Chain A
């Protein structure tokens, strides 16, 4: 059953991504990206990452996509104009580059993980059960990665100030 759900979500993610890059309207593209994000959060649950799945919905599908739709509305480019998809030359370039890239990535996938560094099967699921999904990720986040976590707050502050400075009208 889990495997079935996994493959349904995987196919939904790929189909939504294809629709996302081919729809003419930017609003349709953004909404299909929300479809990709939801399908990916299903995959995250099946891959023993329930906290990441929740954050994916809250932060990505909630906050970031609202920002995108808000800017589309603000610039008033939601209605259909002439298509912005490139001509035949651009399509050939995109197709060739895409095929080369997917070939490379699938070759890289064939590399197997050395057994010395892999954890025993189901150990992450066990951690999620004993410490709770939040506790399991909070341990490394607030101990080993405390300084990167604090630096993140400075980066967010810089981004907020930068966004306001860039988008405001000259006074």
Chain B
């Protein structure tokens, strides 16, 4: 019933997440923006599952599990990074840039 407006909201939220990743330097805020993108995709799954069957909702369940695991590992990496460099500003963390 709300398929079209849901997909518009989802597109806008995903774009805001991408803009946030490009705009910020703080690693934790970038991580928050990644969560925003995952949620935008979840909204697409739920909106389409209304017309295509409940498999979409099962997928949202899996996406949430992966997001929880990703948050735990990612935040552990940020803590380890902070211990080494005393900063979470990504401009100062350029070991892989060469």
Contacts and interface: CB of A to CB of B under 8 A. Distances in A.
B55 A140 contact: yes
29 contacts: A3-B2, A10-B5, A17-B16, A17-B36, A21-B16, A21-B17, A21-B20, A26-B26, A43-B6, A43-B46, A51-B57, A52-B46, A52-B61, A59-B64, A64-B67, A67-B72, A77-B28, A84-B29, A85-B24, A90-B23, A94-B18, A98-B16, A98-B19, A105-B10, A137-B58, A145-B62, A156-B69, A158-B69, A166-B79
Contact of B49 (A113, A124, A141): A124
Interface of A: 3, 6-7, 10, 13-14, 17-18, 20-21, 26, 29-30, 33, 36-37, 40, 43-44, 46-49, 51-52, 55-56, 59-60, 63-64, 67-68, 71-72, 74-75, 77, 84-86, 90-91, 93-95, 97-98, 101-102, 105-106, 109, 113, 117-119, 121, 124, 127, 136-137, 139-141, 144-145, 148, 152, 155-156, 158-160, 162-164, 166-167, 169
Given A64-B35, A68-B75, A77-B28, A102 B12 contact: yes
- Chain A contact residues: over half helix, strand or loop, or mixed? helix
A101 B13 CA distance: 11
B68 A64 contact: yes
Given A55-B64, A141-B58, A155 B47 contact: no
B66 interface: yes
Interface of B: 1-2, 4-20, 22-26, 28-29, 31-33, 35-36, 39, 42-43, 46-55, 57-58, 60-62, 64-73, 75-80, 82-83, 88-89
Contacts of B57: 49, 51-52, 137
B63 to A, nearest CB: 10
Contacts, number: 225
Contacts of A64: 35, 67-68, 71
A6 B6 CA distance: 9
Given A40-B39, A71-B75, A145-B62, 14 more contacts: A10-B5, A10-B9, A21-B17, A36-B39, A46-B2, A47-B2, A97-B18, A101-B18, A105-B14, A117-B52, A124-B54, A140-B58, A156-B68, A166-B80
